């Protein structure tokens, strides 16, 4: 069993070090995650506090993300009538296009991956991954529990990732 555990650990290490896995994880944090979430607001405004809560980050971090994306013309700030201190955040067309392109390239990558491994192996991989989720759903590694922020980011990814045919 010791050899199997070591091999499993090495396989996981190899998996998480792949560039494509790092690319997919971009949806979980930073500006991409922010755009991913705010896009779902559609025409409704979002407040920095709401976005901070949804992403599970500090208000200081959300301010830095908003400032950076504002400079890139991917979001815009609008003053709230009647309260000079409050602002709403809205995604711009440039921001929508950026996140739509990211989603399209992610879906193209997943289709290509499935094509490369074949339908039978893809179904077997999904069966094994679903079994893994079932077994590990309530398991935690002592001393390495995910932070609340990490849990929120993963929840947001699952909530907002729309896999397309």
What are the φ/ψ torsions at residue 75 (nearest 5 degrees)? -140, 160
What are the φ/ψ torsions at residue 72 (nearest 5 degrees)? -85, 0
- Rounded Cα distance, 95 and 120, in Å: 37
Q: Say yes or no: domain 19-137+148-160 is CATH 1.10.10.10.
A: yes
The model's pLDDT over 89-133, given as tens digits with 9 standing for 90+, comes to: 999 999 999 999 988 998 899 899 999 999 999 999 999 999 988
- Kindly tell me the sign of the dihedral angle through the C-alpha atoms of 161, 30, 26, 128: negative
Position 153 confidence tier, pLDDT thresholds 50, 70, 90:
low
pTM, to two decimals: 0.73
The model's pLDDT over 5-44, given as tens digits with 9 standing for 90+, comes to: 888 888 888 888 888 888 888 777 789 989 988 998 888 8
- Rounded Cα distance, 107 and 139, in Å: 29
User: Strands 75-80, 83-91: parallel, antiparallel or unpaired by DSSP?
Assistant: antiparallel
Shortest CA distance to 63 belongs to which of 81, 42, 49? 49
């Amino acid at each position: 069993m010791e050899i199997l555990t070591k091999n499993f650990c090495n396989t996981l290490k190899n998996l998480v070090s792949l560039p494509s896995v790092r690319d997919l994880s971009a949806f979980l944090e930073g500006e991409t995650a922010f755009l991913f979430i705010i896009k779902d607001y559609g025409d409704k405004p979002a407040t920095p506090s709401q976005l901070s809560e949804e992403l599970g980050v500090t208000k200081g971090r959300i301010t830095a993300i908003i400032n950076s994306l504002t400079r890139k013309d991917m979001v815009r700030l609008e003053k709230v009538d009647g309260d000079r201190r409050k602002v709403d955040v809205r995604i711009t067309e440039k921001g929508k296009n950026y996140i739509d392109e990211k989603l399209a390239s992610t879906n193209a990558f997943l289709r290509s991956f499935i094509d490369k491994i074949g339908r039978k192996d893809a179904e077997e991989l999904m069966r094994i991954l679903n079994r893994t989720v079932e077994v590990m759903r309530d398991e935690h590694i002592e001393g390495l529990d995910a932070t609340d922020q990490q849990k929120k980011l993963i929840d947001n990814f699952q909530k907002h990732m729309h896999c397309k045919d």
